[in-house]
Amino acid sequence: MDRRGAPVDVVGVGRTFALGDGEVVALRGFDMHVPAGGFTALIGPSGCGKSTALRLVAGLDAPDEGIIDMDGSSPDEMRRGQRIGVAFQDPSLLPWRTVSTNIRLALELVGRRHDSAAVDELVELVGLQEFGKARPSQLSGGMRQRVAIARSLVTNPDLLLLDEPFGALDALTRQQLNDELQRIWTARGTTTILVTHSIPEAVYVADEVLVMSPRPGRVVARHSIGFERPRTRELLLTDRFHAEVEAVSASLHRSEGQVVQLDTDPS
């Protein structure tokens, strides 16, 4: 398989936000390594700073401490070089544009306005051939997410960042999109980081699952997921899949337990 894209190295990153008179430490001592062409899932309790971490890697926000390096470039350089594709839980489509022109937006922004072939290819890849001229308001939630994913991919980015892109969808649609995401990633081999709440989703699609602690967030456990690809839905029913989900789940609970101890610590 042709692996491409940029490796991501995050070392000792911290980020603090002002909140009213006080401050919130979202991340502290956050480390992460994603090899070129790798698929890493980031999982953790609500508010642990997963999204913050992703925004830092995307260059949409800057860390207060630590280093983020991608093949010698900083996130901001990657962003300015237009080498990143992002998709969020909210598909953030432009309501006045059609499916095709929403996908084309990314091409327009990187100066490849006339690359209609790329748009058509992505429309097909996410299975929306018949809806190219539809507006977002005429699509279902799952279809809108496909458009957002297609938009993030159309520029052939070196890094794909997904922040709970399927978080608001029903279980069935979600599973379909996970299959598609895996297929797309297999075909394109882009370095991918997926933030998610769902343990089975993370185990199903990723090479490696990183478990984060509650705030201030940092990585407390790594799980290498060795299932062969392409992974199919039969995998979901196997004992080894369940065992892996159990293992990640246990790490997640341990990480939550840590904070209970921290909170009750008299110091």
Partner 1 sequence: MNAATEAAADAPTRPPGGSRLDRVPPRILSAAVGVAVLLLWELLARTVYAGSYRLSPPTAVVAEFFEFRGLYLRNLWHSTKTAAWGFLWGNLAAMALAVTATLVPWLRRSIGAVVLTIFCLPFIAVAPILRLITGPGNATPIALSALAVVFTTYVAALLGFDLAPGSALDVIRSYGRGRLVAFGTVRLRASVPALFAGLQIAAPAAFLGAVVGEFTGAHRGLGILTVRALGALQTDRIWVIAVLSTIVATGGYLAIGALGRYLCPWSPALDVGAVPVARVEPGLLNRLAGLLAPIAVVFVFWYAFLWVFGIEPFFAKTPIDVWAELFSEAEAAETRSLIFGALGTTLWTTSLGYVVGLAGALVTALVFILVPWLERALMPIAVALRSIPIIVTTPVIILFVGRGLLTTTAIVAVMSFFPTLVNCYTAMTRTPEGILDVLRSYDATSTANVRNAYLPTSVPALLASARIAVPTSLLGATVAEWLATGDGIGAVMVTAFTRNDFKILWVSVAVLTIVAVIGYWLVAAFELRTLERMAPGISR
Looking at 151, 174, 218, 231, which residue binds partner 1 (CB under 8 A)?
A: 151
By CB under 8 A, is residue 262 in contact with partner 1? no
CA-angle at 6, arms to 110 and 126, nearest 5°: 60
**Window 179-218: contact mask with partner 1 (x via CB under 8 A):** -----------------------------------xx---
Segment lying near partner 1 (by CB under 8 A), choices 1-9, 77-85, 183-191, 243-251: 77-85
| 172 counts as binding partner 1 under rule CB under 8 A | no
Nearer to partner 1, 24 or 36 (CB): 24
Provide, rounded to whole angstroms, the least separation between the CB of residue 85 and partner 1. 7
Number of residues that bind partner 1 (CB under 8 A): 43
Residue 102 half-sphere exposure, CB side, CA atoms within 13 Å? 30
> Distance of CA 134 to CAs 100, 131, 157, 194, 245, Å?
8, 5, 25, 28, 38
Contact set for partner 1, span 38-67 (CB under 8 A): 45-47, 49, 51-52, 55, 58-62
Distances (CA, A) of 52 to 9, 17, 73, 148: 16, 10, 19, 20
Quick one: which segment of 80-88, 176-184, 226-234, 236-244 binds partner 1 (CB under 8 A)?
Answer: 80-88
The interface region with partner 1, picked from 75-83, 115-123, 181-189, 224-232 by CB under 8 A, is 75-83
CB of 88 to partner 1, least distance (A): 5
Cα→Cα distances 262→95, 214, 256, Å: 46, 11, 10
Work out whether 168 is an interface residue with partner 1 (CB under 8 A). Answer: no
Which spans of this chain sit near partner 1 (rule: CB under 8 A)? 17, 19, 24, 26, 45-47, 49, 51-52, 55, 58-62, 76, 79-82, 84-86, 88, 90-92, 94-96, 105-106, 108-110, 135, 137-138, 151, 155, 214-215
